[in-house]
A and B are shown apart, each in its own frame.
Chain A
């Protein structure tokens, strides 16, 4: 059953979209990742224009993060104060990102920017995940527990504008969280991702936040940043496709619930390797598109750019 997408102005098979939403949903449910970093490139592959894919995916992430954050509200694992500081950075970053996006769009280079960002980030994340899960498997065989060291005082603690974050039990400068938020905001606007894959490690390793509040706090920030990004793309580029978002959502929500149940029963480390291989596969395909000579050198764009 084909469906004509009103904003993307292409006709695609509705079941392909539902299936994609479901597949990425299963993966995100299994691994607890947002899935934006897989969904957006997959949308490129089925022929959705990159600008529409990025803006629409931002919209979809709002939905998938919202149900997630509700659960964390109930468990009180959201650091609102830290979340708000991250959010300030995030909103500035998103505005910067959309500005950069629109500027490069007028230059005809936005596809390149989006794809390059994906190759770089998917490459880094994929290989890190691959190495980490290999180590985890090796460790579980040896079963030697390594005690994690509490980080000592670093340059982070020397910065001014300190603030107390009770829920996280921290007393640090607000500059690092704002910078982290800003960086994630730029990524959200350019790549159509929530940015959890960058923010979560940054919160643990740079800010030193306790693991139990990290997910809830990052989801809290992601909802507002991606929501803001959606509005910016909708008002400046008109690239948010509601019909596409709803189809992906339906598939995604169902998939996430199924994935969460599968995840409980399976071994995490081996699955993580599978995810790592998949991420690297998508990265490889995108990199090939940039490196190999394309079959059609010319492309048609809207007028107005110089």
Chain B
């Protein structure tokens, strides 16, 4: 009874938001199995309101799925001694391994520059790069290259007008996850915007995990590399030996 009273107090104490997101996803875990060949993630939900739809400007939806961030090194090839070799390198502090943005309208129109800076939504904002060495004067082109390469591999996606938004209430989109996904916690954000400003946001996590044999082999190779090495040698020797033994049996017949 006492507990319930506290809960009630807490709920009423929260500032009332005019519009809130209720979210569903086709799955909250993605399993990378041996036969994993990419996947489709369905994100859907509704806007919950206490008041009638405001008449000012249209409500818009931005859905961003972001893989685990990791530091990277970008290298640029240069022609030296007649062959193309890696020359300049720039360190990127943190870059998401996967980043997909889906919107209900043109990105630049539904989210202002200031709000993008604050919430770090667009792809360039999601990448944090600090300093380049003194020898590199055009560090921006390295970041651009990272975005270009990952966009080509469908690891970074900007899908404008890909969210269908019915009656300013129900929204739905599907995001293609490529086959070379790294495991980790994928942060999924839903932002509701009006006139370029974020009016509400919701966050949840998508769990991407290697499972079964994939997980067993990967974990073993990192945690017990010597055991893993000996195991792979043993399998190799047994397979080589076994195969020649089988063929000898065939030859005798």
- Which residues of A approach B to under 8 Å, CB–CB? 1-4, 6-7, 9-11, 59-60, 62-67, 70-71, 108-109, 111-112, 116, 227, 230-231, 233-235, 238, 240, 242-243, 245-246, 249-250, 253-254, 257, 290-294, 296-306
Residue of B nearest to A261 (CB): B251
Residue of A nearest to B70 (CB): A303
Residue of A2, A66, A245 touching B35 (CB-CB under 8 A): A2
- Which residues of chain A come closer than 8 Å to B71, judged between CB atoms? 303-304
Pick 11 A–B contacts, CB within 8 A, sort by A. Answer: A4-B35, A9-B182, A63-B239, A108-B75, A233-B229, A234-B221, A235-B229, A293-B79, A297-B77, A298-B75, A298-B145
Interface check B235, CB cutoff 8 A: yes
Pairwise interchain contact B145-A301, C-beta atoms closer than 8 A: no
A1 and B77 alpha carbons, distance in the complex (Å): 35
Which bucket holds chain B's interface residue count? 35 or more
- Which residues of chain A come closer than 8 Å to B240, judged between CB atoms? 62-67, 249, 253
A220 and B174 alpha carbons, distance in the complex (Å): 56
Interface residues of B in 229-250 (CB under 8 A from A): 229-233, 235-237, 239-241, 243-244, 247
Interface check B225, CB cutoff 8 A: yes
Residue of A nearest to B232 (CB): A242
- Which residues of B approach A to under 8 Å, CB–CB? 32-38, 70-79, 82-86, 89, 91-92, 142, 145-146, 148-150, 179-180, 182, 210, 213-214, 217-218, 221-222, 225-226, 228-233, 235-237, 239-241, 243-244, 247
| B81 shortest CB reach to chain A, Å | 10
| A192 shortest CB reach to chain B, Å | 14
Pairwise interchain contact B236-A249, C-beta atoms closer than 8 A: yes
Residue of A67, A296, A304, A306 touching B241 (CB-CB under 8 A): A67
Residue of A4, A67, A302, A306 touching B214 (CB-CB under 8 A): A4
- Which residues of chain A come closer than 8 Å to B230, judged between CB atoms? 231
Pairwise interchain contact A303-B241, C-beta atoms closer than 8 A: no
